[in-house]
Each structure stands twice: as structure tokens, then as C-alpha cells.
Amino acid sequence: MHNWVQVTGYDGNHFDAHLARPDTPNGGAVICIQEIFGVNHAMRDIAQYWADQGYIALAPDLFWRQEPHVDITDRSDEEWKKAFSLYQGFDVDKGIDDLKATIDHARGMSGANGKIGTVGFCLGGKLAYLMTCRSDTDCNVGYYGVGIDESLDEAANITAPLMLHIAEEDGFVSKDAQAKIRDGLASNPHVTIHSYPGMDHAFARIGGKPYDKKNAALANGRTAELFAKTLKG
């Protein structure tokens, strides 16, 4: 079930974000950035996961310009076709503006301490990387981000912690792309890259075919450590 709140975008339009509030807040906020399936059950569960750890969690509806409230899965060819169509029609720059607007909204919420982290998956993984380059977030985490290798020219702008979780057998991120990411970010002291041998794209998505409980727990634990260090208090 969605718990939508309205966010005012930089262009004056309004869009929705799913909100999960913590029972015992620690002050920090986490922006959960969707895959290509919209703010679906998996994304809402991720928001709740971080709320359970004390963070205000928001998952903005980034496909709203094409179709508001997309909520699909990876279970059928028809859903995959729709997901790829939405992905291909997505304006990354406008999506970044929407994420920045979501950050502004989160900072103004009751109980927020102003510290913001993002965590993104697939498409959201690339957007988390770009948020490191283009925004004033306190930290960002990308899981199996697609297309990061195409935006390495922005890496010089990284001044806050960025953690990337790379699936070594990712069907959507080639070995060459993975190598470019590692080489392109190797000299930046703010970047930490974790690789997961044998893992495919979406290994951390509960219920997905590639889900691997052990490696998902390892990645989530590393993310939790970063958030605890940079967002609490």
C-alpha cells in the first residue's frame, strides 16, 4: 500500500513520493531511488527497511511525467516491455531535478536533521551516482547501476561518500563497463566500490529471480554502516 506525499518540483509541478516514517527516528533521511518498475512493492519494502532503522524514507515517483504511479514487476514479458519503454523515455536531467526537490522536501519534514542519503537500484543506481556529482547529499549508494560508465566525466565533482555495489555477472552492465567504472573512480578517495562475484543484476531485490540472500545482506550491511556514520544525529 502506498503512502503518498506531494512534492513540489523545481518546474512548479507536483509529483508524489511514497513515505515510510520511522517509529524511533534518528534524524536522517534516505531517498530510495526506483528501478525501472516504478515505486512498486519492492521499492516500498526498501523504504520500510530504512524506516525500520530510524530513517525518514521517501521513494519518489520518477516516471510521473510519462505515467504517474507505475507499479509493475519483473514477472511477465509485458511488464518488462513496459518497463523498458518507460526507461527509454525517461529524462535523466529532469529526474535529477525531481530527486533534488525530494531532498528539499525531506529536509523540511518534522524530525529531520537535514542530513540526506540516497540509495538507488538499476536505473536508480546510476541516479544515485549522479546525485553524488550534482547535489549536496551527504552520501549516496548505488546497487548495480546501469550506465554509470557513460557519465564518468562528472566524477571530478564527487566530494561526498559514494558506495557502489557491482554485480560481477550483471547482464545489464558488461565487464568492460565495470572495468571503466573501477578505473574511472579509482583515484577518488570518496568512492568505495564493492564487487560481488557470481552475482547478477538485482541480486539484492527480495523476490527477484537473481536474489541472493547472503550477498544482499552483505551489501545492505555495508550500506547501513555508511548511513549510520554520515546521517544519524
Q: Within 10 Å of residue 78's Cβ, how many Cβ atoms?
A: 9
Determine the residue type at 221. Answer: G
Q: Is 62 left (phi over 0), alpha (psi -120 to 50) or beta?
A: alpha
Beta carbons of 115 and 30 less than 8 angstroms apart: no
What is the Cα–Cα distance from 165 to 144, expressed in whole angstroms?
6
Q: Would residue 16 show up in a list of annotated catalytic residues for this protein?
A: no
Nearest CA to 193 out of 152, 157, 163 is that of 163
Q: Which three cell numbers stand for residue 201?
A: 543484476
201 belongs to the catalytic site: yes
One of 18, 74, 201, 212 is an active-site residue; which one? 201
Residue 166, CB-side half-sphere exposure with 13 Å CA sphere: 22
Phi, psi dihedral angles at 21 (to 5 degrees): -100, 140
Three-point CA angle 133, 229, 6, nearest 5°: 60
- Choosing from 16, 98, 149, 170, the catalytic residue is 170
Q: Are 150 and 174 in contact (CB under 8 A)?
A: no
- Alpha-carbon gap, residue 106 to 114, rounded angstroms: 8
C-beta atoms surrounding 116 within 10 Å: 28
The residues that are catalytic are: 170, 201
